[in-house]
Amino acid sequence: MSELLDLLQTPELRAMVDAAAVPAPGTRVVVAMSGGVDSSVAAAVLRARGLDVVGIALQTTDYSKYLGDDSGGSCCSSKDMEDARRVSERLGIPFYVLGTEATFDANVVDYFVDEYLGGRTPNPCVMCNTRVKFNHLYKKAMNLGADCVATGHFARVECDETVGYQLVVGSDAKKDQSYFLFNLNQTQLSRTCFPVGHLTKPQVRQLGEAFGLLTAQKKESQEICFVPSNDYKEFIAGRVDSAQMKTGFVATLDGKPLCRHDGIHHFTLGQRKGLAKPFEAAQKAGLDVTDLFVVDIDPVNGTVYLGPASALLKTRARVRDVNWIGEDFPLGEREVQVKIRYRSAAVPARLRVEEGATVILELEAPQRAVTPGQAAVFFDGDRCLGGGWIARL
């Protein structure tokens, strides 16, 4: 521990480490090591604070199975596993690789394919956190006698006597990842810490440099880890037979067919790129294609509707399978802020809670492309209340 603290040669660097909300020295903590800078620094902060740290990398997928090689460029590659191992060696902590390929295929890859075939736009990162990372990580942590699990997410955990453990947004608003964690429950949050949640991304890199970590300036992965070159259409076509493809017509909003398409998985709400054939048919029909977008997808009859940008604006949505993090949400109404996608700003809305885990979301102002399959995550200030999945009304 002392040798790591000795590397922090300015009061500012030491203050960053001291401000982390982590368990008491000596507590055994399992850290999810992805091979990136965030999880690497999370492990270093815990080690510097005197905790008993164990590093675990989750091998969620065999990257070469999808790319034909294992050259890296996304999470889960063998290079990432090697980087995580080398960081663990640098920190002097034990390191293990936990294989979760079968669970990942069944709970993330199959889900991803099924959502697109059903005319929805999936969020595999949320599903991976929910069904794979935290599920398997917690089990392994308990087997190793750990009291806590840590990750490099930009989020925070606080405890309130009234509502219990709370998920709070990260201090870096641009990097906050609470959106992806809305499905965590009280048991999981009670044994979770986010050692970099109080830092900005530049501060994380600064600490990485100070600790001498090889991942300090490593680029972030921007692609879906199991989809080569982000070409999800080709990926889906390679996993299902033609009989499973929901083909049909591209049509105008009033139902006039323009052309046939090869499957609704080729389209997403709000799409404009990659519509050469429908646009050609629309021009022949005398339509102005400068204001044409995919505005609706009917998974029952396979019709993809094109319309103006104004048709993408919605004020209502149904949200299913809602998870409430810190309380049993009462029936009735409540004002919240909601994010309807990760990169969007939280906007004012009113929830009407129905029986079961379903709510009706009333947006204060129209929002563009409220997309079935994406997560709607609810906030009260900087506290994440929970969230669910956007469904068709």
Q: For helices 201-210 and 11-18, give the axis angle rounded to 10 degrees.
A: 110
Report field, pTM of the whole predicted structure over 0.75: yes
Domains along the chain with CATH numbers:
2-152+195-230 (3.40.50.620), 246-307 (no CATH), 313-391 (2.40.30.10)
What confidence tens digit (pLDDT) does each residue in 48-59 have?
Answer: 999 999 999 988
pLDDT at 1: 56
Q: Is 51 exposed, middle or buried (0-12, 13-18, 19+ CB in 10 A)?
A: buried
Q: How confident is the model at residue 242 (pLDDT cuts 50, 70, 90)?
A: confident
Mean pLDDT of 252-259: 95
For residue 318, give both structure tokens.
Answer: 């149904």
Torsion angle in degrees (nearest 10) through CA of 122, 128, 132, 137: -160
Phi, psi of 146 (to 5 degrees): -80, 150
- Tokens 């509707």 belong to which residue? 305
pLDDT at 265: 94
Mean pLDDT of 165-171: 96
Q: Which of 212-221, 322-331, 380-389 comes out lowest in average pLDDT?
A: 322-331
Residues 177 and 183: their CA atoms lie apart, in Å, by 12
Cβ–Cβ under 8 Å, residues 89 and 44: no
Catalytic residues: 128, 225
Gyration radius from the chain CA atoms = 23
Residues 78 and 60: their CA atoms lie apart, in Å, by 11
Q: Which of 48-52, 184-188, 190-194, 223-227 comes out lowest in average pLDDT?
A: 223-227
